Structure 1
Amino acid sequence: MLSEEDSLFQTAFNAAAVRYKTGETNLLEKVSAEARLKEIRNRIQIVNAEEAEFYQNLKFLLNYEQSFVIDKNLSGKKALELSELNIQKNPFLAILRQQIEVSHLQTSFEKEKLKPDLRIGLTTQSIERNYNQNFVQGGLSIPVFAKAQKARIKAYGINEEISKGNLQVAENQIQTELNNLKLQYQKLQKSLDYYENSALPQADLILKTALKSFKEGEIEYFEFAQSTTQAWQIKEAYLVELQNYNQIVINIETLIGNE
């Protein structure tokens, strides 16, 4: 957008310079147009420096040494299909399900300790000249402290139920958060539709008409500047809404585990 603004005010400055030479306007108009042009170009330099810093940080995060450039021709609006959203892949819910499984295994393991333990062994011995005599031995182990063991089983069972309850609460909270994000997404989608279908075309028309009127001497520079400021405000507001929209999409994708 700054490049577009730079081009517009370069044309306006050239027109103001011609009008000043021909005596159609005063020095203030020419200086004002030049000052606005320099301000825009200063902003462009700042943005370019910030972009270079962004690429350096991104290369560090990606552990990537070679230079690269993000394709700016890609759509600035992330696509999202609301009907396909599901919280079951949420990483936090996965952890809670794992905790339930661990609690269940602990309960099952402790229950196994209450069961009698039957052991059978085969022994081969040689006595005097009678070789290879086989003896079968058997034993039955019965838990003596069954009451204490049952208490442990109950405790693990309670932990398992607590884990299930935590999962249910977390699912309800995350689903509520997802529903709220959906509402925000729909609100921003409608706002972007307004800008794209109405406000942005109007802003372009304002810029085109204001520049034409100024070059033809139908309006003064300050009227031109006031009209174009309104148009740039519309374009900047659209970019802010677009950023908010994309952030909501990122939040939704993070919530459903689609990172």
Structure 2
Amino acid sequence: GMPFSISAGVGFIALFGVAVLNGIVLIAEFNRLKASGLQNLKEIVLLGTTVRLRPVLMTAFVASLGFLPMAISNGAGAEVQRPLATVVIGGLMIATFLTLFVLPILYMMFEKIGKKPSLPILLLLGLGSFSAQAQTPITLEVAMDTALKNNLLVKNEQLIANYQKALTKTAKALPQATVTAELGQINSVYFDSKIGIGQSFSFPKVYQTQQNLLNAEWQRSVLAINVRETELRKQVSQVFYELVYLQEKRRLLQFADTLYTAFYKRAELRLAKGESNILEKATAETQLGQITTQLKQLQYDAEALQWQFQLLLNSTTLFQPTVTAYKISLTADQKLGLNDHPYLRWLRQQQQVAEASFQVEKARLLPNVSLLYTNGSIRGTGADNQLYTGFHRFQSVQLGLGIPIFAAAQKAQINSAKVQKLVAESNYAIGVQSLQSQFQTSQANYQKYLNTVAYFENTALANAQLIMSTANQQLYAGNINYLEWVLLINQATTVRNDYVEAIKNLNTALIQLQYVSSGK
């Protein structure tokens, strides 16, 4: 055996640098292919390893061959050189094997589970690093519950409702009491004193109408929460199924990418052997480039929708929508109608607010009442011919009515309240008409897209599968050329893509139909 020495330790340091460099070269190529739009992990690993095989082997062999004379030397200084060379040569052989065979397997494994391999593993195996951002699966029901709990707009409506509820206790607020004090020659040449306390208030009907108005405004704010929650459910459903649509679209593009990647390799090989012309290779390259571009655009669309989804849920977590079926179905217990729509209930409550405001303005024409209590002293001879020294106190109570003689301004307020009632009634009629129009339009769209999806499921998809399988069989049998195969595959792919688009339109129509109706 060979003992461990300082030169062997130096060899391990050099070995780690070269081994990690080879791993970084390979991982960088994998990430470049993934960034270019290629999504199939097997294709990424095979193509990346093929492209970077020569640089990895050259790096390992150059270092190994450079240390080979040191490893076999027997002259002076061989006891120092041989451990260094042996460690480097043996380590590079093992590290190269791990880089070319173990690294791709680990890359595929970590990409599938969406995690980043730990740094110690990368260093020990001589591998490069790569990142993959994990996403948390979430269902539509959980997403809606999260949004209703965390959304800032809903919280704001709840705060407004709490504010309106607190205001209901202010309906019977009275003005401040008036306290007076007098000292001087009130009754005669002698100094007397008088104190008084007064309070004014409105008729009880005024306070009752104010209470009704505040209660109506509180109920309106509570119904506004329901309106906001209904809109939020619609928005969450739309973004949720839009993300699901992008997932389905990505699967189709990845499948097409796999087909056309294999087609491109065959076309390139056939061109090299002289079995085809440049047109076949150019067609394959063009088709593959279009798919790559669409995958990139799809990624940007998904990122934008993901930000919108996080905003609705008020969460920093990246969620991945999870569904058992891409197509939404209208269940039998969902009754569609307009009478119980939260927006119509809010409009009806707005009419109640306008009526209560009108009653408040009418009640303000009633007279105000004022009470005044006084307590004073008298010095000298009173009206009863008695002599008073100022120690006796005399009391009185005064009652007053505030009559609105100049009531033109208040009557104008009453007239404006009447107009406001008419505005509320008009808004309700407009709201009913608008929802009815949306309901009829949504029903028509739903039926239209339902028939379209039924056609695809009953006929078109089966034909597309038949076209694709037959085209592959005919190609391998030599009955059709590659250009004819491309036309047939494009036709089958278009049918599948149109089916995904039709389901997207069906889901959108049903979400809108559920929103404008009382169905949940």
Give the alignment's TM-score, normalised by structure 2: 0.41
User: Are residue 111 (structure 1) and residue 362 (structure 2) matched?
Assistant: yes
Partners of 1:214 and 1:67 in 2: how far apart? 47
CA, structure 1 residues 175+84, in 2 after alignment: closer, same or farther (shift >3 Å)?
same
1:251 CA drift (Å) = 3.8
1:191 aligns with 2:452: yes
**How many angstroms apart in 2 are the aligned matches of 1:124 and 1:258?**
70
Q: 2:290 aligns with which of 21, 29, 43?
A: 43
Q: Which has the larger radius of gyration?
A: 2
Unaligned runs of 5+ in 2: 1-251, 379-389
Aligned CA RMSD, in angstroms, stands at 3.8
Pick closer, same or farther for the CA change 1:216–1:150 going to 2, 3 Å.
Answer: same
Rounded to whole Å, the distance in 1 between the matches of 2:306 and 2:506 is 26
Cα distance change on mapping 1:134 and 1:58 into 2, 3 Å = farther
- TM-score with structure 1 length normalisation? 0.75
Cα pair distance change 1:142/1:245, threshold 3 Å: same
Which residues of 2 match residues 6-21 of structure 1 at below 5 A? 6-12=257-263
Q: Which residue identity lines up with residue 6 of structure 1 in the other structure?
A: D
Question: For structure 1, which runs of at least 5 residues remain unmatched after alignment?
Answer: none
Question: What is the percentage of aligned positions where both structures have the same residue?
Answer: 25
Kept in 1, the 8 Å contact 2:337–2:518? The answer is: no
Q: 1:69 to 1:213 in 2, by over 3 A?
A: farther
The yes-or-no answer on 1:53 pairing with 2:300 is: yes
Distance 1:162 1:4, change over 3 A: same
Does residue 158 in structure 1 map to residue 408 in structure 2?
no
Shift of 1:200: 0.9
Quote the residue 1:180 is aligned against: 441
Distance of aligned partners of 1:19 and 1:94 in 2 relative to their CA distance in 1, 3 Å threshold = same
Q: CA deviation at 1:185?
A: 0.9
Corresponding residue for 2:22? none
Measured after TM superposition, the shift of residue 256 of structure 1 is 5.8
Report the secondary structure of 1:177's partner residue: helix
**Residues 124 and 135, structure 1, Cα contact 8 Å, conserved in 2:** yes
The 8 Å contact of residues 366 and 403 in structure 2, kept in 1 or not, is answered as yes
Q: Does 1:218 align with 2:479?
A: yes
What's the CA shift for 1:112?
Answer: 0.8
| Residue 88 (structure 1) aligned to one of 324, 335, 341 | 341
Q: Deviations over 1:125-172 (max 9, x none)?
A: 4552125x5432211222224566445423421331232122112211
The size of the alignment, in residue pairs, is: 252
Structure 2: distance between partners of 1:237 and 1:20: 34
1:218-241 CA-to-partner distances (Å, cap 9, x unmatched) read 333343333323212212222332
Aligned-partner Cα distance in 2 for 1:5–1:56: 22
Task: Specify whether residues 60 and 22 from structure 1 end up closer, same or farther in structure 2 by C-alpha distance, changes over 3 A only.
Answer: closer
The residue type paired with residue 89 of structure 1 is: P
